[in-house]
A and B are shown apart, each in its own frame.
Chain A
């Protein structure tokens, strides 16, 4: 691949991080992410269905999908795979898209970064798999970076793991 990473230019911004432990071997979790039919089974919020899914799982290849919400709205998105290390790591560029596969802006936030670099890691321990996804804006404009950083302030993971306390506190009003 001719694309080069430029980590120093992107490191000014913090990453979004989400982690979950699954009670399944890594091989199985990996398949669920990398095989089209399996990915269609779970990707998207509750009640959403994947109406279109074109997958070309290799570095430089892409996954182009459409999620349909329970009230019939369509949301198109695209992954472009950059790095695949089976069964450990996937690096991809994540963006919103149109039906033709062209990149589009976030439907609710026009200054949201056009492209996000996402790194997913799969670590197995004692038959369970820890999945971690990290996101950061890819070559963001100043405005995109600001939008991302502000949103980061609201992310529970940005609150160094004490979200439960905070949630409790918020619940008390």
Chain B
């Protein structure tokens, strides 16, 4: 039996920008390989190779539908990556929220000064 993919394999898989674009496309639903290739203007063998990597780490699953094979995103596998990066983003998003409040306070103060004069 094949070994189970680890979280760090998932991190490696999404470190590649073309694979991220493929995952993004799949957020809209199941797609066949040729649709992905045409939409992103990648060569089909290249897309197949990326899809194989994504399947190996469990980020994508595939099913046959008539003549076609449809690829589907497995969002749950992405969660650990999001959680990791969240710390950095939270730092900046929350800092920016505070900066936004601060700038609004400053400008409100200026306006009320203007009115008094």
A-side residues, CB < 8 A to B, are 14, 16, 18, 20, 22-24, 28-29, 32, 38, 41-46, 108, 131, 133, 149-156, 158-160, 162, 165-166, 168-170, 172-173
List 27 contacting pairs A-B, 8 Å CB cutoff, sorted by A: A14-B17, A16-B88, A18-B96, A23-B103, A32-B103, A41-B102, A42-B95, A42-B98, A42-B102, A44-B94, A45-B91, A45-B95, A46-B98, A108-B87, A150-B11, A151-B11, A151-B84, A154-B11, A154-B85, A156-B85, A159-B24, A160-B21, A160-B24, A162-B24, A162-B27, A168-B27, A169-B73
Q: How many A-B residue pairs have CB under 8 A?
A: 109
Q: How many chain B residues touch A (Cβ–Cβ < 8 Å)?
A: 45
B 14-33 contacts with A by CB, 8 A:
14-17, 20-21, 23-24, 27-28
Whether the pair A153, B81 counts as a contact (CB closer than 8 A) is yes
New contact pairs (5) apart from A38-B102, A46-B97, CB-CB < 8 Å? A32-B99, A45-B94, A162-B27, A169-B75, A170-B75
Whether the pair B15, A150 counts as a contact (CB closer than 8 A) is yes
Whether the pair A160, B106 counts as a contact (CB closer than 8 A) is no
Interchain CA distance A157-B4 in the complex, whole Å:
29
A49 to chain B, nearest CB (A): 11
Q: Mark B52-94, 1 if CB is under 8 A from A, else 0.
A: 0000000000000000000001011011011111111111111
A28 partner, pick from B76, B90, B106, beta carbons under 8 A: B106
Which residues on A sit within 8 Å (CB–CB) of B92?
Answer: 18, 133
Interchain CA distance A150-B79 in the complex, whole Å:
14
Whether the pair A18, B11 counts as a contact (CB closer than 8 A) is no
- Of chain A, the residue at the smallest CB distance from B105 is A41
Which residues on A sit within 8 Å (CB–CB) of B106?
Answer: 24, 28
Which residues on A sit within 8 Å (CB–CB) of B44?
Answer: none
Q: Which of A14, A43, A45: most chain B CB closer than 10 A?
A: A45
Q: Which of B8, B21, B106: most chain A CB closer than 10 A?
A: B106
